[in-house]
């Protein structure tokens, strides 16, 4: 941990009691700040409040009182999910008070080698693969943190100058990380996500590009080269561009040719040996390989990881096989693009479980993939009628169910040996579940109840 004195004696407000917010509050106390912690919700137990107050932190729950804007805070550390049009946040913006996220705080105290990953899809898998690859050859600590569910600042406290940290960073986190400077940055892809938060696609792209804002030619931006738009976006960085591509050969980075993965013209391994299924995971592997090779990792270490790693939970996760049916949990597919790539990963008939929060869009884009890969659909949630319309356009049998749990026995009734039963909702979970993780866990529980087996 790097010692800094910029928070000594400063008044800091931490907004949000998530894991990162709680860790940030305690870290700020160590750094000499006078900390107030605020959460709009009232914690279900007093343990969180008691823990914060025991460290000398003033705690306010149940509201974001606008009066806090008049208490003379020097800095606000905001939970990334709290929008900037929140009245209290907007008041701080109007006053010109710096608003950062916990990722920025983590960067400020980090003293090692930083690799950071962002993108619309594939962030967590790419982050995990990159960390595992670098760790295979490392003589020092190699950890991961960030949007992957582990506090950046908490891990950064325990790492030294020779250690490596691989961080997954969301667009929400990057908006509040003005000085973050990874030596290697990865952009997996950029689609049109979170426009309810960012308002426009350009705002979303700009937030993603904060990952490379402070990079120089001595740093590296590893970026997907499979779309012209992403190639143009890369030109907005000052870093050395390292492309990865499943579709286009580029000797400057990692790519696929005739079923073989190459790094700058040298063979690494066949794509068929990657344990993870689907074209999206080939792309994730290519991104991780580029970062790993830039970090000095051997081909042997890369092969070991890619031939053994079976996936991150809720991200096209293999659950089990039962009576010839394969069950997969892809609850993290909260947009159309993710479900498209999930469907492309299977050469067996698929029974698709899909639906969720209605964000106002329709699903015609899915029709070609439904026609090619899906034998039946079970739809649920707020947007089930729109999902049903897409299924009808594709000529696919569609039935309705209450949710992702009740859909499991319905899918079983429709299935035959050789089929894949796939939860890949193409929508957020918030109409019925608090998170995609809960949705995925409940799906797995329903599969276990149906089969009498535990996930593999």
Say how many C-beta atoms besides its own lie within 10 A of residue 414's C-beta: 15
| Owner of token pair 């859909």 | 407
Contacts of 96 (CB under 8 A, 6+ apart): none
Look at the chain and count its residues.
456
Q: How far apart are alpha carbons 217 and 362 in whole angstroms?
A: 42
Please state, in angstroms and rounded to a whole number, the distance separating the CA atoms of residues 389 and 384: 9
Instruction: Extract the annotated binding site.
Output: 119-125
Which residue has 């498209």 as its token pair? 340
Within a 10 A sphere around the Cβ of 413, how many other Cβ atoms?
A: 10
Distance, CA of 289 to chain centre: 18
Beta carbons of 187 and 119 less than 8 angstroms apart: yes
What whole-number distance in Å separates Cα of residue 363 and Cα of residue 5? 52
Q: Say what the alpha-carbon torsion angle 382, 386, 387, 390 is, to the nearest 10 degrees.
A: 180
Angle, CA of 108, 112 and 116, to the nearest 5°: 75
User: ∠ at Cα 200 (198, 205), nearest 5°?
Assistant: 75
Q: Are 90 and 84 in contact (CB under 8 A)?
A: yes
CA 108, distance to chain mean position in Å, is 22
Q: Which of 55, 97, 54 is nearest to 76 (CA)?
A: 97
Task: Match 């193409």 to its residue by tokens.
Answer: 426
Q: What are phi and psi of 429, to 5 degrees?
A: -95, -5
> What are the binding residues for ATP?
119-125
d(CA 211, CA 394): 39
Using CA atoms, how far apart are residues 95 and 87, in angstroms rounded to an integer? Answer: 12
38-42-45-49 Cα dihedral, nearest 10 degrees: 20
Give the chain's radius of gyration (CA, Å).
23
Q: What is the 3-state secondary structure (H, E, C) of 50-87?
A: HHHHHCCCEEEECCCCHHHHHCCCCEEEECCCCCCCCH
Q: Which helix (H) or strand (E) holds 329?
A: strand 325-329
Beta carbons within 10 angstroms of residue 56's beta carbon: 9
């Amino acid at each position: 941990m790097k010692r800094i004195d910029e928070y000594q004696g400063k008044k800091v407000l931490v907004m949000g009691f998530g894991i990162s917010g709680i860790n940030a509050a305690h870290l700020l106390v160590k750094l000499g700040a006078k900390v107030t912690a605020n959460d709009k919700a009232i914690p279900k137990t007093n343990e969180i409040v008691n823990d914060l107050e025991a460290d000398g932190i003033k705690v306010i729950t149940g509201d974001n009182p606008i009066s806090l804007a008049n208490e003379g805070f020097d800095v606000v550390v905001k939970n990334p999910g709290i929008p900037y049009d929140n009245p209290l946040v907007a008041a701080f913006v109007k006053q010109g008070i710096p608003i950062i996220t916990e990722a920025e705080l983590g960067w400020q105290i980090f003293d090692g080698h930083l690799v950071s990953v962002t993108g619309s899809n594939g962030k967590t898998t790419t982050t995990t693969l990159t960390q595992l690859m670098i760790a295979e050859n490392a003589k020092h600590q190699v950890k991961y943190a960030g949007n992957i569910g582990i506090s950046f600042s908490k891990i950064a406290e325990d790492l030294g100058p020779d250690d490596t940290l691989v961080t997954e960073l969301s667009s929400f986190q990057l908006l509040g990380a003005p000085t973050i400077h990874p030596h290697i940055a990865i952009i997996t892809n950029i689609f049109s996500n979170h426009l309810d938060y960012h308002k426009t696609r350009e705002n979303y792209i700009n937030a993603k590009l904060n990952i490379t804002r402070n990079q120089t030619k001595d740093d590296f931006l590893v970026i997907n080269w499979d779309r012209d738009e992403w190639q143009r976006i890369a030109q907005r960085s000052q870093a050395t561009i390292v492309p990865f591509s499943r579709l286009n050969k580029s000797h400057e980075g990692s790519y696929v040719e005739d079923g073989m993965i190459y790094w700058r013209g040298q063979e690494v391994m066949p794509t068929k040996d990657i344990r993870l299924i689907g074209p999206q995971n080939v792309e994730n592997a290519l991104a991780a390989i580029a970062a790993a090779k830039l970090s000095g990792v051997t081909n042997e270490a890369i092969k070991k990881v890619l031939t053994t790693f079976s996936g991150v939970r809720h991200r096209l996760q293999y659950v089990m096989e039962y009576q010839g049916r394969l069950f997969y949990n892809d609850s993290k597919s909260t947009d159309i693009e993710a479900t498209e790539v999930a469907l492309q990963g299977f050469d067996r008939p698929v029974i698709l479980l899909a639906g969720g929060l209605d964000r106002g869009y329709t699903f015609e884009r899915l029709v070609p993939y439904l026609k090619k890969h899906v034998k039946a659909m079970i739809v649920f949630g707020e947007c089930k009628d729109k999902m049903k319309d897409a299924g009808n356009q594709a000529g696919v049998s569609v039935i309705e169910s209450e949710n992702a749990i009740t859909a499991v026995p319905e899918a079983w009734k429709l299935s035959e040996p050789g089929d894949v039963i796939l939860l890949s909702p193409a929508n957020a979970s918030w109409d019925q579940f608090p998170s995609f993780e809960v949705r995925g866990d409940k799906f797995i529980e329903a599969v276990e109840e149906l089969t009498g087996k535990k996930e593999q």
